[in-house]
Amino acid sequence: MSRRTVARLIICLVVCGCFVVASPAAMPASATNDAAGQIVELYPNPTTDENRGEYVAVEIAEPGDWTLTDGEGVVDLPEDRTGRFAATRHPTETATHTNATLVESDGSFRLAVSGETLTLRRGDTVVDTVSYEDAPESQQWRADREPRWQPAGFEPRAPMTVSNTSVEAFVLPDNPAAPLDAIEGADNRLYLAAYTLTDERVVRELIAAQNRGADVAVLVEGGPVGGMTERQAARLDDLTAAGIDVRVMTGEAARFRYHHAKYAVADDTAVVLTENWKPAGTGGADSRGWGLTADSAATADELAAVFEHDTTWKDTPKWESVRGEIETIEADAAPDSYPQRHPPLSTAADELTVLAAPDNAESELVGLINNTDEELLVIQPAIGDRDYRLLRAAIRTADRGVEVRILLSGSWYAEEENTALAEALRDRATDDDVPLSVRVADDTDRFGKIHAKGIVADDTAVVGSLNWNDNSAENNRELAVAVTDPAVADYYRDVFVADWKASSGDGSGFSILPNGDLPAGLVVVAVAVISGTALLAHRRLEFERK
């Protein structure tokens, strides 16, 4: 079993809404006394035999008698040159991780996984010192970014914004044709990023684009919660047989806990979804989801850049090379269909911003919520816990007098936790007399379950794969767009309000409002942390499959 799999099991992780129990590694302490030299990068724990490839990188601005030590070994750095140098015992392996000039050290200079202190000297003067404890697996420490520890091979991106761009807003299950229409006919490039991919309509279009001569590539998660289905493995086999470059994020060195993003690039069109590329999602057979397409070359290029970043590292091998290593499970197709109550909306949006996690999404959304003045609407399958950063921001917004409404899934695997959270928020709203309302969705003929991850904050709507929990924001690859435009915001607001009214707590379901009571006979079971019981573990492992 890989370290990646063990890590998932240890923290009892559920992709869509979970309580994460983990202890982050201690942050290194760094003290710089001289701008002429600095320790800028560490890679102590590459999870290779003998930690082959470990290194320490320094930046030298002035020539001098520079040395680097770990307290046992000493590395002499070039005296007559400036630039970035990496001290390593394994130059060949290290060359794949850094562009710094390599300086080979002897065997006495070794980076301990359990902690180390590195000292950079100029002659007898200490110029910089960095200390760390318990180096995370396959993560690099860099002095110029926050957080300092991030996965090796991961280069954070800043939000990218375009103005006055044509968009189409749509929701699922109402409009299963919308995501397919957006990718049909691509003759230059068609890149599809997925957590899961089983929608045969999408597979056929990918193959058709390949046959037209387009550059076609696919990236999927190699170990979704509960396991990869036999149906998906067969679809990936079909794509590979058609000559399509199919990549799978997997392995001990994976940069993200899960590749959970759902988007596509079709020539100069970008597609961003809350839903998986499968019958229950894009096929319109079950989930309430939100989606958006943008006819914008700049937006498509930004998504293509994320796709290239994510498919050109050692954690995304070709499907055929790992096919025999990935175990598959059986899964039933979602059989239902639903009417179209909300046709798509086509308009020119004032502004669109691409957000990604773990790069920037959480901090940007905190800022958006903090600046909401009139109304904040949130739809989520679940929320990790009541201390989650985005939820705290929403509560602060309600404390300012802004109306805040949160709609959560009532599906069997999330109802217990969502009900407990909703009750806690109801008590908070009642005690403090603030306009915070929470509903757990009833069974409805509008959709099978809530799977959308969306926000409407005044005139800005956010659509994407980001779940409201620490794992999604900090460890997963997620992607979302924030669209600032009154018409787009009103479109998703109308959908939200209709779904909210359909979950009115009239006896078949459950609604919690400030100063309101729970329906008679409802038993609320508070779950503050993952219990670890076999039943709960089974339910969590099933979470994303439904």
- The conformation of residue 218, written as its DSSP 8-state character, comes to E
Given a cut of 50, is residue 2 above it in pLDDT? no
Tokens of residue 125, six digits: 């003067």
Which range of residues forms the domain containing residue 387? 352-545
For residue 87, is it within any domain? yes
What confidence score (pLDDT) does residue 107 get? Answer: 85
**pLDDT tens-digit map of 311-348:** 999 999 999 999 999 999 998 666 788 999 999 999 99
Write down the mean pLDDT value for the chain: 87
Instruction: Single out the residue in 119, 151, 183 at which a domain terminates.
Output: 151
Structure-token pair, residue 52: 């082959």
Do residues 360 and 302 touch, judged by C-beta distance below 8 A? no
Instruction: Assign residue 412 the CATH number of its domain.
Output: 3.30.870.10
The H or E element spanning position 395 is: helix 389-399
In a domain? residue 169:
no
Q: Which of the listed residues 125, 151, 177 is the one where a domain comes to its end?
A: 151
Give CA separation, 91 vs 16, 108, 120, 227, in Å.
41, 15, 20, 37
Q: Which among 500, 535, 487, 395 has a CA at the least distance from the CA of 166?
A: 487
CA distance 122 to 33: 11
Rounded to whole angstroms, what are the CA distances from 144 to 128, 134, 463? 14, 20, 30
Q: pLDDT tens-digit profile of 266-295?
A: 999 999 999 999 999 999 999 999 999 999
Residue 537 lies in a domain: yes
Per-residue confidence (pLDDT) for residue 334, from 0 to 100: 65
Specify if 312 maps to a domain.
Answer: no
Confidence of residue 538 (pLDDT cuts 50, 70, 90): very low
**Does position 471 have pLDDT exceeding 80, yes or no?**
yes
Beta bridge partners of 215: 189
The model carries a pTM of 0.83
Asked if the model's pLDDT at residue 250 lies above 90, the reply is: yes
Cα distance between residue 64 and residue 34, in whole Å: 13
Contact between residue 259 and residue 249 where contact means Cβ atoms under 8 Å apart: yes
Residue 483 covered by a domain: yes
Residue 28 confidence (pLDDT)? 57
> According to DSSP H, which parts of 400-513 are helical?
412-432, 470-474, 486-502
Q: Distance from first CA to last CA of the chain, Å, rounded?
A: 25
Task: Lowest mean pLDDT of 97-101, 363-367, 397-401, name the range.
Answer: 97-101
Residue 504 confidence (pLDDT): 61
Residue 108: how many other CB atoms lie within 10 Å? 12
State the pLDDT at residue 96.
83
Does residue 473 lie in a domain region?
Answer: yes
- Residue type for 543, please? F
Q: Is 398 exposed, middle or buried (0-12, 13-18, 19+ CB in 10 A)?
A: buried
pLDDT-derived band of residue 146, with 50, 70 and 90 as boundaries? confident
Residue 333: half-sphere exposure toward Cβ, Cα within 13 Å: 16
The three-class DSSP label of residue 164 is: strand
Which pLDDT value is given to residue 48? 86
- The tokens for 396 are 């602060």
**Which pLDDT band holds residue 526 (cuts at 50, 70, 90)?**
very low
pLDDT band at 253 (very low <50, low <70, confident <90, very high): confident
Say if strands 263-266 and 245-249 run parallel, antiparallel, or are unpaired. Answer: unpaired
User: Is 199 part of any domain?
Assistant: no
pLDDT at 534 over 90: no
Tell whether 186 is covered by a domain.
Answer: no
Which token pair is 317?
């091998």
In sequence order, which residues have a C-beta less than 8 Å from that of residue 134 and are 6 or more positions away? 25, 26, 113, 114, 115
So what's the pLDDT on residue 31? Answer: 52
Q: What is the pLDDT of residues 86-139, one digit of tens each?
A: 999 999 999 988 999 999 999 899 999 999 999 999 999 999 999 999 999 889
Q: How confident is the model at residue 261 (pLDDT cuts 50, 70, 90)?
A: very high
pLDDT recorded at residue 16: 40
Task: Enter the DSSP assignment of 546.
Answer: -
% of the chain at pLDDT higher than 90: 79
pLDDT at 110: 93
Torsion of CA 418, 423, 427, 433, to 10 degrees: 70
Which CATH number is 93's domain given?
2.60.40
pLDDT at 46 exceeding the cut of 80 = yes
Q: Domain end: 114, 136, 151, which one? A: 151
Q: Which of 329, 475, 487, 469 is nearest to 408 (CA)?
A: 469
What pLDDT score does 102 carry?
Answer: 97
Q: Is the per-residue pLDDT at 30 higher than 70?
A: no
Domains in the chain, number: 2
- Residue 33: pLDDT band (50, 70, 90) is low
Query: 3-class secondary structure for 462-492?
Result: EEECCCECHHHHHCCEEEEEEEECHHHHHHH
Q: Which residue has the higher pLDDT, 542 or 274?
A: 274
Alpha helices, H only, 242-318 = 297-311
Rounded CA-CA distance 326/234 in Å is 12
